[in-house]
Structure 1
Amino acid sequence: MKKLMFPLIFITLMLISCSGDDIEEYIPPEPITPEEPEEPVAYHTKAKDLFDLINQFYGVRSGAAVGLFNENYPKKSGDNIASYLWPYDGLVSGAALLHKLGYDVKYADLVDNFDVYYRTSADGVNIGGYGSSTNGTTGGGTRFYDDNSIVGISLVEAYKLTNNRDYLDKARQIVQFLKSGEDNIHGGGLWWNESEKNISGNENSNKPTCSNGYATLFLLEYYTVCDQSEKSDVLAFARRLYTWVYNNLRDPADGCYWNDVQVSGSVNKMKWTYNTGVMISNGIRLSQILSDQKYLNEAIESAQGAYSYFVRPAGKLALAYPNHDPWFTTKLIRSFVEIEPYYPSAANYIKTFINFLDYGYTHARFSNGLFYEDWTGSDPKRAEQLLMQAAALESLGVVALYKGESANAK
């Protein structure tokens, strides 16, 4: 059986020691020459192969950050001892999918490593939350509300998959951290992070869809597993945040969501795939919890609007999703998978994405198997970033599960 194989040169790679963390010797890769396999490779196999490559090229093998991953491959001058929290969480999301598919990827160990990003306090707030960076032992950097919410989503998922109540307790702490960030400026909502609140002239000081949308999604996920005594308060918090985003950042023309409200009250009308995606997911959940069709209708309108807005011809592709930030697009696709049972046209949206992913697998990878950021294959930009590989991993895992694949299938 003929498959796409990595060049023989990578079989001979040797580990070397480098400044306290062993990494693969860096040999500059080349763009691959597209070659279709005679027999298709299952998506779960592609996902596991990429996960193994991420461990091979990005894994930190010694020193204080052993078990974590580097931000870039090859590691750049000035990089931290380990990656920022965002790409690490992207990797954990992909590992969760592999775990569901039946692979042993030491999933619990990866989830447990969130602990090294944890900060007990920051900026005068004596409530624990996850920082954007780590020294390998404790968290540092800024505590972003969207980062913490995304970790919370991963923790709830880990609790559902392992039944380890420690993960539920850690998720509960994130609820308290998010509460510490809510205020009434501009009518409610969360800022992007706790360090840059209400600072005039600072573009990072804003109330964005990402912080509020992902906080809503985390709270609705946590609602499904939390103690009965917490449910009313958690649901009320989620509804406040959802309503704030809907009222302030939804484009009524297409149901997509703008990026943020600035300190001045002006709206940054940039649109990103993941912002609309998370609000679709939230609408589905609120419709289910509250038995209210209104929320599902809002989600369907946003799904229709997102496909119309973001999908365009690109290069040799008749239809393609944006050629940048694949992690963002993966979140939109996950919302399309969720809404398909209620809105069958979403199957076409997913099919377009699968074609896009297939094209990227063939035309937008290096000879070492790592993905470009741009899946149209026109520019191998930012391929060195862990986040780009984590996005491809999660995308492959999502498609494998969508197609009903399993590592244990005969």
Structure 2
Amino acid sequence: MPLENPNLEGYQVVRNTWLKFYNGSKKTFIAPKKCSGCYNDEKFVVWSISVAAQAVVDGARLYKELVPLVEPAIDIFQKYKNKHLKGYSAAENNGNDKDIYYDDDAQVASAMITAYEVTGNKKFLDQGRELVRFLMGGWNENPKAVNKGGMKWHINNPYLNSCTTAETAKACLQISKFIPDEEKVYVDFAANCIDWQIKKLQDKGDKLIMDGVQDTDPNVNTVKISYNTGTTLSAAAHLYHITKDKKWKDIADELAKAGINRNVFFYDRDYDNSLRYWRDSSYFVQLLIEGLADYLLFVPDAPEDLPAKIEEEIKRHMIMFYEYMRDEKDGLYLQSFEPHLTFKDVYETKYVKEFGGKKKWDLKGEDKDGDKPIKCLMGCGAAARIFFQGARVIPKVEY
């Protein structure tokens, strides 16, 4: 059956994910069998929880029957909280663990803030505000740093990376509209984040966002993952919407064009132009799609041909993901976005026909248990978000 309604597909993924992974007695997501994203035999790192919880919230915005799942999903985060620092650790802990990553926590904050937006439960707003204030404390103020500014990756590692900086900016902008008395503080902080991002980490050639730089090292890590561009695009577009400063529009225009340029780093360029696709895992791609959707929402005066090109790119990627990575048995998804790294029968029937068998079959390492495919929490949450975010642009798919 072809993909027709991306929102409905997202709903089905959330429902099936909840049934497979949520354990009511332990009040958290539990892996039936150890899989990608687990830090022990059954429990998931907070990054995985954040993606799954965000998918629940995205679904609840559209399907009211999912609203009762929002509170138990967001409440899981409290198991990860350092009660003294007010940040959230990678693993469940007794309130004192310091293995805290600012990029993970920015996604946690985003889930909390959107949970408030969807439910009106002020508890989530209070949690989100507290966490955003914690995040803002991660700005690099080391006077001896070669690279000034930028958000740290980990509380004990001043690697200044783009995902942390842009995701913190996103969280600040999300919460700014709900706390008017503090709006300027959040918007100004977000503006500083994206200013730093563009000056320090944007490739001046292809306009993509590079990964990061150590505070004491002049050499930038030039890897360009899709979500770095996607999250920066979200923040820049939102800044333009709030401030109406053309500077942010110009940045957003550049990033949106770069994100759908089939000649850039995160496309698989081993194929002819018409077959090229975003090759990152789904949990990265979902944030690029969100960035492109935010761009179309917040920048109504986009260059004339760009919206149509964005729509086409999101549409064809949703179709490819649905046709190649969906398991018909349980309606859940692999994390791969590369059509040869899929179920063997799909490879043999679809990939060989569409892509000519150019690459050999395999399963992505994070998608297999031995030689068998296995689904994980973050991959399923990311899949739901791909359809929910994509549906903001393409609510109905026509082949």
Give the aligned partner of residue 390 of structure 2: 399
**Structure 1 residue 147 corresponds to structure 2 residue 104:** yes
Question: Structure 2 length as normaliser, TM-score?
Answer: 0.80
| Partner deviation per Cα, 1:66-121 (whole Å, 9 max, x = no partner) | 23213x55325972542111111111121122112224221222122222221113
Give, as a single letter, the amino acid of the residue that structure 1 aligns with 2:282.
P
In structure 2, relative to structure 1, the CA distance for the partners of 1:400 and 1:286 (3 Å cut) is: closer
**1:167 alignment partner, one of 124, 131, 135:** 124
Task: Give the Cα–Cα distance (whole angstroms) in 2 for the partners of residues 298 and 402 of structure 1.
Answer: 21
Give, as a single letter, the amino acid of the residue that structure 2 aligns with 1:326.
S
Task: Give the Cα–Cα distance (whole angstroms) in 2 for the partners of residues 342 and 252 of structure 1.
Answer: 24
**2:195 alignment partner, one of 243, 258, 262:** 243
Give the aligned partner of residue 336 of structure 1: 292
Task: Give the Cα–Cα distance (whole angstroms) in 2 for the partners of residues 322 and 139 of structure 1.
Answer: 39
Task: Give the Cα–Cα distance (whole angstroms) in 2 for the partners of residues 131 and 165 of structure 1.
Answer: 23
**Structure 1 residue 369 corresponds to structure 2 residue 328:** no
Question: Which structure would you say has the larger Rg?
Answer: 1
Q: Is the 8 A contact 1:216 1:241 kept in 2?
A: yes
| Partner deviation per Cα, 1:222-243 (whole Å, 9 max, x = no partner) | 1111141x22322222222222
Give, as a single letter, the amino acid of the residue that structure 2 aligns with 1:134.
E
Task: Give the Cα–Cα distance (whole angstroms) in 1 for the partners of residues 391 and 187 of structure 2.
Answer: 32
Give the aligned partner of residue 29 of structure 1: none
Q: Is the 8 A contact 2:152 2:164 kept in 1?
A: yes
Give the aligned partner of residue 152 of structure 2: 191
Give, as a single letter, the amino acid of the residue that structure 2 aligns with 1:195.
N
Task: Give the Cα–Cα distance (whole angstroms) in 1 for the partners of residues 103 and 135 of structure 2.
Answer: 9
**2:90 alignment partner, one of 128, 132, 141:** 132
| Partner deviation per Cα, 1:291-344 (whole Å, 9 max, x = no partner) | 211111111111112221244567799344323311111111111112223325
Q: Is the 8 A contact 1:333 1:350 kept in 2?
A: no
**1:50 alignment partner, one of 1, 13, 18:** 13
Q: In the TM superposition, what is the alpha-carbon distance from 1:404 to its structure 2 partner?
A: 4.4
In structure 1, the residue corresponding to 2:221 is in which secondary structure? strand
Task: Give the Cα–Cα distance (whole angstroms) in 1 for the partners of residues 202 and 113 of structure 2.
Answer: 27
Give the aligned partner of residue 327 of structure 1: 283
Q: Is the 8 A contact 1:223 1:235 kept in 2?
A: yes
In structure 1, the residue corresponding to 2:222 is in which secondary structure? strand
Task: Give the Cα–Cα distance (whole angstroms) in 2 for the partners of residues 155 and 390 of structure 1.
Answer: 16
In structure 1, the residue corresponding to 2:18 is in which secondary structure? helix
In structure 2, the residue corresponding to 1:255 is in which secondary structure? coil
Question: Structure 1 length as normaliser, TM-score?
Answer: 0.78
Give the aligned partner of residue 113 of structure 2: 156
Q: How does 1:7-26 map to 2 (within 5 A)?
A: none
Q: Is the 8 A contact 1:150 1:214 kept in 2?
A: yes
Give, as a single letter, the amino acid of the residue that structure 2 aligns with 1:160.
E
Give the aligned partner of residue 177 of structure 2: 224
How many residue pairs match? The answer is 349
Task: Give the Cα–Cα distance (whole angstroms) in 2 for the partners of residues 181 and 399 of structure 1.
Answer: 31
Give the aligned partner of residue 27 of structure 2: 67
In structure 1, the residue corresponding to 2:160 is in which secondary structure? strand
Task: Give the Cα–Cα distance (whole angstroms) in 2 for the partners of residues 115 and 139 of structure 1.
Answer: 12
Q: Is the 8 A contact 1:254 1:302 kept in 2?
A: no
In structure 2, the residue corresponding to 1:269 is in which secondary structure? coil
**Structure 1 residue 210 corresponds to structure 2 residue 163:** yes
Task: Give the Cα–Cα distance (whole angstroms) in 2 for the partners of residues 227 and 170 of structure 1.
Answer: 17
In structure 2, the residue corresponding to 1:82 is in which secondary structure? coil
**Structure 1 residue 108 corresponds to structure 2 residue 68:** no
Of Structure 1 and Structure 2, which has the larger fraction of its residues in strand? 1
**2:53 alignment partner, one of 84, 92, 97:** 92
* Percent identity of equivalent pairs: 21
In structure 2, the residue corresponding to 1:120 is in which secondary structure? coil
Q: Is the 8 A contact 1:321 1:329 kept in 2?
A: no
Once the two structures are overlaid, the 10-residue window that deviates more, 213-222 or 182-191, is 182-191
Q: Is the 8 A contact 2:112 2:124 kept in 1?
A: yes
**Structure 1 residue 276 corresponds to structure 2 residue 229:** yes
User: Please, which runs of 5 or more residues in structure 2 have no aligned partner?
Assistant: 342-362, 368-374
Q: Is the 8 A contact 1:73 1:386 kept in 2?
A: no
Task: Give the Cα–Cα distance (whole angstroms) in 2 for the partners of residues 386 and 298 of structure 1.
Answer: 34
Q: Is the 8 A contact 1:249 1:257 kept in 2?
A: yes
Give, as a single letter, the amino acid of the residue that structure 1 aligns with 2:151.
L
Q: How does 1:239-318 map to 2 (within 5 A)?
A: 239-262=191-214, 263-308=216-261, 309=264, 310-312=266-268, 318=274
In structure 2, the residue corresponding to 1:192 is in which secondary structure? strand
Task: Give the Cα–Cα distance (whole angstroms) in 1 for the partners of residues 10 and 273 of structure 2.
Answer: 23
Task: Give the Cα–Cα distance (whole angstroms) in 2 for the partners of residues 144 and 192 of structure 1.
Answer: 6
